[in-house]
Chain A
Amino acid sequence: QSGLTQPASVSGSPGQSITISCIGTSSDVGYYNYVSWYQQHPGKAPILLVYDVNQRPSGVSSRFSGSKSANTASLTISGLQAEDAADYYCCSYGGSSTVIFGGGTKVTVL
């Protein structure tokens, strides 16, 4: 299994919306509706933002939303805020009780 492909960086101005893509294959992202997204600030553990493609855990802002089309999953951050500057990782079920992570995307708030 190869890692999922994410853009190295995405940037936006405060208040704007940005979208981070996560490209997998027909064996992982494209086959299962088990895609999650994590936010990680420097030196901290990742935080779960979205799971099962578009479900948000309680306590996570509605500004974070997930979607999927074919082999590509996406995370959209609306109303971008300074505190959204962080690294973001996607994750997919890979079948046979395995998990695959993306390479990560650095979000910069201009």
Chain B
Amino acid sequence: QLQLQESGPGLVKPSETLSLTCTVSGGSISNSNYFWGWIRQPPGKGLEWIGSIYYTEKAYYNASLKSRVSISVDTSKTQFSLRLNSVTATDTAVYFCARHHLISYDAFDIWGQGTMVTVSS
């Protein structure tokens, strides 16, 4: 069945760029019924939607992060990626990638296991 797996550095220095990739296996990232999203969770805190992308490369972002975030998709590699620049300690979090439905936009039905990213010098 479809699986998602996050990968990337676990430690990023302040002011640098956080880069993560989510690899989709067992299914197509070009499925027209779904968006692919990034969600993060600071230690001991709640979930925050970062943004989502469609296979056509159309992306949507959380307004509070929009100036610093970029999400891209590579259908040939069945991957989508997150870049968050000018990071600070407040960007320390577990980052999840997840699939959600085109129509039932709220339904994040498949999640990766999450990857912890710490921002520290």
A34-B106, A36-B107 known; 11 other A-B pairs, CB under 8 Å? A45-B112, A45-B113, A45-B114, A47-B111, A51-B107, A57-B107, A89-B47, A91-B108, A96-B60, A98-B62, A101-B47
Q: CB distance A101 to B96 under 8 Å?
A: no
In the assembly, what is the distance between CA of A103 and CA of B105, in Å?
19
B residues neighboring A (CB under 8 Å): 37, 39, 45-49, 52, 60, 62-63, 96, 98, 100-101, 104-109, 111-114
Chain A interface residue count, Cβ-Cβ cutoff 8 angstroms: 28
Task: Answer yes or no: A52 CB below 8 A from chain B CBs.
Answer: yes
In the assembly, what is the distance between CA of A98 and CA of B60, in Å?
7
A residues neighboring B (CB under 8 Å): 1, 3, 34-36, 38, 44-48, 51-52, 55, 57, 89, 91-93, 96-104
| Nearest Cβ on chain A to B84's Cβ, whole angstroms | 17
Q: CB distance B109 to A57 under 8 Å?
A: yes
Contacts of A98 in B (CB 8 A): 49, 60, 62-63
Q: CB distance A46 to B37 under 8 Å?
A: no
